[in-house]
Amino acid sequence: MDKKQLRSQGWFGKKGKDGFIYRAWMKNQGIPAHQLEGKPVIGICNTWSELTPCNAHFRELAESVKNGIYEAGGFPVEFPVMSLGETLMKPTAMLYRNLVSMDVEESIRANPLDGVVLLCGCDKTTPALLMGACSVNIPTIVVSGGPMLTGKYRGNDIGTSDIWNFFEDNRSGLMSDEELYVAESCLARSRGHCAVMGTASTMACMVEALGMSLAGNAAIPASDSRRKALAHLSGNRIVEMVKEHLKPSDILSRVAFDNAITVNAAIGGSTNFMIHLLAIAARIGVELNIDDFNTSERGVPLMANLQPSGKYFMEDFYYAGGLPALMKELDQHLYNETITVTGKPIAENYRNSNCYNRDVIGSIEKPFNEVAGIAVVKGNICENGAVIKPSAATSSLLKHTGKAVVFENIEDYKDKIDDPSLDVEEGDILVLKNVGPRGYPGMPEVGNMSIPKKLLDRGVRDMVRISDGRMSGTGFGTVVLHVSPEAAIGGTLAIVQNGDVITLDVQAGTINLEVTDEEIARRKAKWFAADKIAPRGYTHLYQMHVEQAHLGADFDFLKGSSGSEVVKDSH
C-alpha cells in the first residue's frame, strides 16, 4: 500500500528533528530501520495483569498476534492499558469501565498506530476496550482470551454459577467449610475467563456476533492451542484491514447490533450485555435504546444449553460447534449480509459450520426454552425501565404480587438478611436501594441478593428481587435489575417502604408499586438526596457524569467519536 496513506507515517515518515526523535527512541528497543519505513504499525492493546487472573495469559497470546502481524508485513507494538479484574477490584470493576475506555481511546489516538488488536477477557475488559476503540475508529479486531476449562469437583462439572449454590448450601448446612475449601481449588483450574455463559463469555459472543472478531473467537478454550492460532490469524487479518481501510464504523451498523441482540437471546447471555451494548452503540453513533432489547417479539428461543440458564460449559459449547454452529441455526433471524472484520458477509462465518452435540446447541425447531433473552419491564417504579433474564428465573414467579421487604442500601441488607427477626415470608419481594451507577457508586453485581436465612432453612431457593444494581452474568433467579431512574437520584425506588405491594408481570412487560400517584408524590416531596458525592478524584468525576443504566452508564461527555486525528503536534 502507499505508505503516505499510513497514519503512522505522520510520525515515522517525518523529516527533520521530529522524525529523528520519533524513530531514534524506538530504535533503543533494537528495532531495525526498515520496520519503521512504511509498514502498517499495529497496536496490541493488552489488558494483561496478574491482578486480572482471567487475562494473566495475555503476554503469551500477544506473541501469537505479533507473529501474525509480522507474517502479513506489519509491525506490531504491544502497549498496556488499565486492566479490570472482576474478582479482586473494589468496590466493583464496573466503576472503572469508563476510565479504561478513556485510557484506550487516548492511547490509540496519541500514538503512531494504523490498526489495533484488542486483547479482551474478563467481563469489563471487552466493552471498555471496544468503547475506547470505537471513539477513535481506526481498523480494529478483537481477540478474546477464551474461557477456562470446565471445573471438576468430586466427579462433578462445576463453574462460577455453582458458587451461589455452594454458599446457599453452606448457609443451610448442606456443605461444610472443608468441602468449600476443596472446591476452591477445583473451579478455576486453568487459564482463561469464567467457563459459563457469564458476562465474559457473553461479551466474547457479542464481539463475534457484531462481526468484530474472526469466527470461532467466542468459545475456543484459553488453553486450547487453537486459541493461539486464532490470535495469529487475527494478526494476519488486521494488517489486511489497514490496507482495506476497514474500520469499526464500516462493520458496526445498526443491523450488526440487531444481530448481537438476537444472538444474546439464543445463548442466554448476561443482563450486563444490555448495558455494555448500549454504551458501545452510543460511541459508534448507532441509535439503540432499551426497548430494542425486548427479544420476546423476535421469536428467538434459547438454543444454548449453558450455565447459568442451562447445564453445560463453554468448553462443551466449543466442542459442539461453538457460536458459528448456533448462528447457522439462527440464520433466518439474522441480517446475514452485514460485513465483519473479514470484509465479507457474516453468513460466511457460519455457513459451513456443523453442530456436533444437540444436547448443547439446540436446533431452531427444538430449542431448550421458548423463553429467551432479556425482558424489559416498565412501570411507576422504573419509568425508564428495568431488566430481567426470564430463562434464569423461576417461571412461576414471572407473574407475581408480593409485599416489599426493603433494604435501604447494601450495608442495611448485609445487617438484616440473616437476622432471624427479619419480617419476611416466602412470597415477599426483596427490594435493595442505592446500588445504582451513581448511588453505590459503580453499580455493583449485588442484585441477586441471598435468600434470607430463615427462608433458606425452609427450602426457599428463589424470590422476586428488585434493585438498581446489576447481577453477575453467572447469577440466576427472578431478579429485576437496572431500575432506572436509580434511588440515589430520587427515582420511585427511593420511596418504596416495607409492606408496600409490588406487582411484576414479565409477559406484560410491567412492574408497579401498588401505591397511588398522590402517595408517591407525597413521599417524593419529603425525599432528599443524601450528599454522597466523593469530594475528589476519579470517583467524583464518575458520580458527576455517569448516565443511568438505560443509557449504558457511560459518561455523558464520552458519547460519540473524536476520530483519529491528533489536533496539535508539540514537537
Residues of this chain that interact with ligand FES (CB under 6 A) are: 54, 86-87, 122-123, 160, 193-194, 198, 200
For the residues of 2-23, what is the DSSP string, one character each? Answer: -GGG-TTHHHHT--HHHHHHHH
Closer Cβ to ligand FES, 271 or 338, answer by number? 271
CB of 283 to ligand FES, least distance (A): 22
CB of 196 to ligand FES, least distance (A): 8
The helix, strand and coil proportions of the chain, stated in percent and rounded to the nearest 5, come to 40, 15, 45
CB of 474 to ligand FES, least distance (A): 7
Closer Cβ to ligand FES, 400 or 470, answer by number? 470
CB of 160 to ligand FES, least distance (A): 6
Q: What is the 3-state secondary structure (H, E, C) of 469-482?
A: CECCCCCCCCEEEE
Cell of 305: 444449553
Q: How far apart are CA 475 and CA 271, in angstroms?
A: 10
What are phi and psi for residue 214, nearest 5 degrees? -70, 160
CB of 429 to ligand FES, least distance (A): 28
DSSP state of 189: -
Closer Cβ to ligand FES, 26 or 200, answer by number? 200
Q: How far apart are CA 138 and CA 368, in angstroms?
A: 40
CB of 162 to ligand FES, least distance (A): 13
What are phi and psi for residue 495, nearest 5 degrees? -105, 10
Closer Cβ to ligand FES, 123 or 468, answer by number? 123
Closer Cβ to ligand FES, 268 or 379, answer by number? 268
Cell of 349: 462465518
* Matching residue, cell 459518561: 555
For the residues of 469-537, what is the DSSP string, one character each? Answer: SB--TT--SSEEEEEES-GGGT-GGGG--TT-EEEEETTTTEEEE-S-HHHHHHHHHH--------SSH
Identify the CA nearest to 216 among candidates 76, 123, 340. 340
Closer Cβ to ligand FES, 222 or 386, answer by number? 222
CB of 101 to ligand FES, least distance (A): 18
CB of 121 to ligand FES, least distance (A): 7
Local structure of 233: helix, strand or coil: helix
Amino acid 155 reads G
Please say whether the beta carbons of 330 and 364 come within 8 A: yes
Closer Cβ to ligand FES, 72 or 122, answer by number? 122
Closer Cβ to ligand FES, 195 or 210, answer by number? 195
Strand partners, 423: none
CB of 54 to ligand FES, least distance (A): 3
Strand partners, 445: 470
Handedness of CA 29, 31, 37, 41 (dihedral sign): negative
Q: How far apart are CA 196 and CA 419, in angstroms?
A: 32
CB of 122 to ligand FES, least distance (A): 3
CB of 362 to ligand FES, least distance (A): 25
Closer Cβ to ligand FES, 142 or 246, answer by number? 142
Q: How far apart are CA 227 and CA 237, in angstroms?
A: 15
Identify the CA nearest to 396 among candidates 303, 478, 458. 478
Please say whether the beta carbons of 141 and 117 come within 8 A: yes
Q: How far apart are CA 310 and CA 367, in angstroms?
A: 12
Closer Cβ to ligand FES, 95 or 122, answer by number? 122
Cell of 45: 492493546
Closer Cβ to ligand FES, 8 or 52, answer by number? 52
CB of 187 to ligand FES, least distance (A): 11
Closer Cβ to ligand FES, 312 or 350, answer by number? 312
* Matching residue, cell 412487560: 509
Between β-strands 115-120 and 501-505, what pairing exists: parallel, antiparallel or unpaired?
unpaired
